[in-house]
Structure 1
């Protein structure tokens, strides 16, 4: 378990993030068109996994906007924005914001992604949702960078995440 905070109040997650240098675990997440996407669907591309509790909060929205802007200039790189929001909410947000350089994926069905990656919040008001995490994978699915934001209301370190690409 990792201990993080929500507005300074301690909360726990189910485990620890994947280790740098390890192979990322496969996943089955739902896209905004309701298709199921797996890690294999993105093979050959560098990936920024931008993971957060809900797209309907200001910090989550800011991270999606920032990665959309920064990654658009990078070759062979995709940003996967992952939350437990329904695909309809994710699609609505990106459409309203005009965001085209991110792929929204939902872990709404069973939360297995959050459990497998050790980032599901287990207590406090956001229990069951994902903590704010950035994981960068190389084109072969090897973990190159991880960050679990110490307080969920804070933004991730964009520069550090993008520096490994």
Structure 2
């Protein structure tokens, strides 16, 4: 497996990402993630839709909380052709609890807690701590990546406007 040393930092400390870096034009890898009801979700479950995938370390941290709430607020304005997914290694039960407490209804939270295959497939698993790096992917209706932003410092927020514009542009 590819290891990308110092690909990101966490509070200034260099971190290694596992997996190849995905770029615009690449096919989005399939995934098997758990939904809050413990059902399995794959890329095929969102066929025909634009997917804005917000990858975060943990919903129970301030930046991830802010990011997911922001995408939840904006998701309603994207229309039925776009689905907003937040992926973390939080357990589905923790995600469900967090979504309920935060009133998040427009973002679907998915968990990579069980098999830990999403992280390496998307090149976002942090070797040193086992969490996922902060990255945004916009995947078009044909499952091609049309936008990506790896946030260089994991403790910082992504460029919301660019991600939302990419999702709208992929409709």
Measure the CA separation in 1 of the matches of 2:72 and 2:60. Answer: 16
Q: Contact (CA 8 Å) 2:19, 2:119: kept in 1 or not?
A: no
CA deviations on 1:32-87 (whole Å, 9 max, x unpaired) are 00000000000111111010110100000111000111121112111111000000
The equivalent position to 2:97 in structure 1, one of 82, 92, 96, is 92
Q: Contact (CA 8 Å) 2:20, 2:121: kept in 1 or not?
A: no
Secondary structure in 1 matching 2:73: helix
Secondary structure in 1 matching 2:136: strand
Gaps of 5+ in 1: none
Measure the CA separation in 2 of the matches of 1:161 and 1:144. Answer: 10
Measure the CA separation in 2 of the matches of 1:147 and 1:79. Answer: 15
Runs of 4+ off more than 2 Å: none
RMSD between aligned residues? 1.0
CA deviations on 1:110-142 (whole Å, 9 max, x unpaired) are 21000111110012xxx1110011000111211
| Count of paired positions | 162
TM-aligned CA deviation for residue 18 of structure 1: 1.3
